[in-house]
Every structure is written in C-alpha cells, then in structure tokens.
C-alpha cells in the first residue's frame, strides 16, 4: 500500500479529483468494500468461481466475460459512442494520441494543448452519457465496491495502435481500484511497478478478460505494446476496445 506521504504527493498532482470527498460527500471512501480497504479484492464469491492470474500484482481474470455478454457490452458501448463520439485527442505538445477515446459517467478523460484531465463535459460541451448498467454490474461483481465508478473510459485501438507505459494516477483516492475489460482483438499488456524503470511482465489480454489494478498494483506502470489484428471476431471492423472504470 502507498504510504500517506506518497498519497499526499500524488494527490497534489491530481488535476480534477475523481472521488474527491469534498465534491461528493455521499460517496465516502469507507463505503467501499464494506469499509475495508479495497486492496484485498475480489469478493469472496468470485474467488470461488475463478482464480485470477497475478501479473506483478495486477489481477487478470482470463475469460471472465462470456461471448453473449461481450456482444451486449458492444451494443451498449455503441449507444455511448452515439452520444459521445470517439475522438482523437492531442497531447500538450500537439502530438495526436493514437488510441481513439470516449467516456461515460460523471467525468471523462480528455486531452488537448492544455494537457490531460478529467472533465465533467465533452469537448463540445455536452455531458457524458451514463455508464451502461451492464458495465456497472461487472464493476460490482469484480470489485466488491458499493460506490459507483465516476468515470468509464472507452479506448479504441486500431491497427498499429499502442498505449505507452503510464500510471493511472489522476484519481483522488488510490484505495479504490481501476477495473478494465478487454473486447475484440488480443493485446499485449505490460505491467511493471511503481517506477517506470521497474521490471515488467507481459500477457496477451483477450476479449472478455477483466483486469484489476488494485492494492500494490494500483499505481503500477502499464501499457499496451501491440495488437494481434483480426484475432477476434467480436468487432466487425477489427481492432480492440478497452473499457476502464474508476
């Protein structure tokens, strides 16, 4: 677990605080995981069903979501994309990010020449659509966290799209997990440690896999090195969707 000092350090770097208690007094951290820290996940029920792969303390539930539900998630994500189209954002330096992104929930992740941040509105001023219930149910099942995720980020990877090593550290409370769902083509996922230079391990994430960054791995550097384009039949135009809730 991160020390308090580290937490304060990370918090000062927070842009717009997701899970900021002052903004959301009804969502106190102790509502999560029945008052326990959210580091001993998943719920007991789930551990009976499936043992996750532990990759540098990230937890990977291989094949967690069956094909029928994967299809339903894609349908629901199309509805999200109708209200909040996938966009190609720029970084502060003006470089175009290869992954196309949209979001649902109270906040979406955006980036432009002013940098990246969580925003309560889309770049065109519209609010983000609601997080589909189908996705929220997966959050509930795998995190044992009674709080709703405030941001559901949806990333689309086409041919040759990568995601550089990064930490998910713009949230206000790192005792809460980040859950990811992979849909479509296989992707080579790399997870290291708290430092960019820490040794890393890799695994091919497949359609229907659920991955949790929680506890020791919550602030681990991670990224996507490459795709196996066309390895899945789920998305008619190939590619991969990764959904992360936090």
Instruction: List residues near Fe ion by CB under 5 A.
Output: 168
Closest distance to ligand MD6 from the beta carbon of 211 (Å): 5
Closest distance to ligand MD6 from the beta carbon of 205 (Å): 6
Structure tokens at 3: 């020390």
Q: For 12, phi and psi rounded to 5 degrees?
A: -65, -20
Among 101, 135, 211, 234, binds ligand MD6 (CB under 6 A): 211
Q: Between 150 and 242, whose beta carbon lies closer to ligand MD6?
A: 242
Q: Between 5 and 194, whose beta carbon lies closer to ligand MD6?
A: 194
Distance CA 120, CA 124 (A): 11
Distance CA 214, CA 39 (A): 6
Q: Between 72 and 193, whose beta carbon lies closer to Fe ion?
A: 193
DSSP letters of 77-145? HHHHHHHS--B--B-TTSPBPSSEEEEEES-EEEEETTEEEEESB-TTSPBPPPPPHHHHHHHHHHH-B
Work out whether 168 is an interface residue with ligand MD6 (CB under 6 A): yes
Closest distance to Fe ion from the beta carbon of 178 (Å): 7
Closest distance to ligand MD6 from the beta carbon of 244 (Å): 5
Work out whether 141 is an interface residue with ligand MD6 (CB under 6 A): no
Q: How far is CA 224 from the centre of its chain?
A: 13
Work out whether 244 is an interface residue with ligand MD6 (CB under 6 A): yes
Q: Between 34 and 88, whose beta carbon lies closer to Fe ion?
A: 88
Work out whether 214 is an interface residue with ligand MD6 (CB under 6 A): no
Is residue 190 within 8 A of residue 55, CB to CB? The reply is no
Q: How far is CA 35 from the centre of its chain?
A: 23
Distance CA 105, CA 164 (A): 25
Among 180, 200, 207, 232, binds ligand MD6 (CB under 6 A): 180
Q: Which residues contribute to the site for ligand MD6 (CB under 6 A)?
A: 155, 163, 168, 178, 180, 189, 211, 213, 222, 224, 242, 244
């Amino acid at each position: 677990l991160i020390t308090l000092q580290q937490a304060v350090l990370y918090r000062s770097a927070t842009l717009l605080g997701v899970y900021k208690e002052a903004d959301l007094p009804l969502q106190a951290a102790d509502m999560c995981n029945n008052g326990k820290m959210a580091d001993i996940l998943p719920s007991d029920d789930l551990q009976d069903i499936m043992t996750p792969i532990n990759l540098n303390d990230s937890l990977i539930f291989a094949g967690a979501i069956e094909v029928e539900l994967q299809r339903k998630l894609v349908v629901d994500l199309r509805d999200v994309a109708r209200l909040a189209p996938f966009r190609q954002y720029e970084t502060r330096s003006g470089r175009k990010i290869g992954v196309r992104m949209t979001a649902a929930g109270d906040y979406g992740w955006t980036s432009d020449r002013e940098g990246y941040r969580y925003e309560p509105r889309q770049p065109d001023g519209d609010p983000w659509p609601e997080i589909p219930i189908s996705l929220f149910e997966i959050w509930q099942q795998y995190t044992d966290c009674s709080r709703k995720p405030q941001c559901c980020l949806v990333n689309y990877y086409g041919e040759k799209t990568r995601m550089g090593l990064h930490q998910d550290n713009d949230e206000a409370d790192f005792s809460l997990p980040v859950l990811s769902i992979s849909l479509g083509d296989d992707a080579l996922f790399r997870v290291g440690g708290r430092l960019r230079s820490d040794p890393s391990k890799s695994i091919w994430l497949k359609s229907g896999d659920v991955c949790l960054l929680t506890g020791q791995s919550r602030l681990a550097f991670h990224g996507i090195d490459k795709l196996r384009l066309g390895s899945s039949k789920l998305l008619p135009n190939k590619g991969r969707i990764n959904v992360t809730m936090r």
